[in-house]
Amino acid sequence: MVAMPITEPDPATTAPDPSGTEAGLLAAWTALLHRCGAGADPEPYGRELLRRWSEPQRRYHRVAHLHAVLRHVDELAGHAADPDAVRLAAWFHDAVYRTDRTENEERSAALAVRALTAAGLPAERVAEVERLVLLTVGHDPAPGDRDGEVLCDADLAVLGGTPEAYAAYAAAVRAEYGFVPAPDFTAGRAAVLRRLLALPALYRSPAARERFTAAARANLTAELRELTGQDPSDTP
C-alpha cells in the first residue's frame, strides 16, 4: 500500500456518513486514523480498503456490510475498552475475502498489520487490531474480552434481523458460493449454522444480547431446518 497527510476532521465524529457513501466512509476512516495517531495520508489506504470491499466476487461481504458493522460498533461502543481499535478491526475484518481460498481472516489480519504499521500506528494498537480480526474466525471471544465482544456482536448482528432481511443475507451468502454444488454447500452451510447455534452465547455485550439473540436463534434454526429437513433440536 501507499503511504499516508492527515486532514483535520471533527474529533467528535466517530460514525460514518449514515448513507454509507464512499465519501462518508472515507471521512470516517480519515477521522479514525487521525485519532489513532497515523502519520501519513489515510485516504489511499481507505480507498484501497473500499476497493477490496467492492470486489466483484462479493455478494454479502461488501461495502454495505462494512458500513453495517461500523454502525453496530458505534451503537455498542460503550461496552468496548478501546472502541477505535474495534473500528479499525471492523475495517479490516473481511478486507481479504475469496470464497475459493481459506484463511481469509488470517490474510485480513496480516493486511491490517502491514497497513497500520506503514501508517505509523503504535505497535500495541496494531497488535490489538490483529488479534480482533483473528477473533472473527470463530466469533467466540473469551469472557471479559470487551473489544472482542463488540466486534463479534457487530459482525453477527445480521443474524438477528427480520426474517426477510435474514433471507436476503442467506441468499447473498449462497450467491458468493455459487460455484459450489448444492449438496456440498448444504453440508458446509449446515455445519456453520450448527457451530453458531452451539456457541455458549451468540452475543456477549448486554445490548446486543437483548436486541438480537431471540431473532438470531430463530433465523438460524429456520435456515438449518430448511437446508436439512430436520429440526436442529433433534440432532446431536
User: Which amino acid, residue 77?
Assistant: A
Residue 6: inside a domain: no
Domain count for the chain: 1
Supply 134's cell numbers.
Answer: 483473528
Residue 15: inside a domain: no
Residue 8: inside a domain: no
How far is it between the farthest Cα atoms of the chain?
58
Q: What is the pLDDT of residue 94?
A: 97
Spatial CB neighbours of 195, under 8 Å, sequence gap ≥ 6: 138
Q: What is the pLDDT of residue 20?
A: 66
Q: What is the pLDDT of residue 19?
A: 42
* Average pLDDT, consecutive stretches of 10 residues, N- to C-terminus, the chain (236 residues): 28 41 93 94 96 96 96 98 98 95 94 97 97 96 97 98 97 96 96 95 97 98 93 59
Domain range for 218: 22-234
Residue 91: inside a domain: yes
Q: What is the pLDDT of residue 230?
A: 76
Residue 134: inside a domain: yes
Residue 140: inside a domain: yes
Residue 108: inside a domain: yes
Q: What is the CATH number of the domain that holds 99?
A: 1.10.3210
For 163-208, write each residue's pLDDT tens digit. 999 999 999 999 999 999 999 999 999 999 999 999 999 999 999 9
The answer to whether the beta carbons of residues 13 and 21 sit under 8 Å apart is no
Q: What is the pLDDT of residue 146?
A: 98
Residue 32: inside a domain: yes
Burial of residue 10 (number of CB atoms within 10 Å: 0-12, 13-18, 19+): exposed
| Confidence (pTM) | 0.88
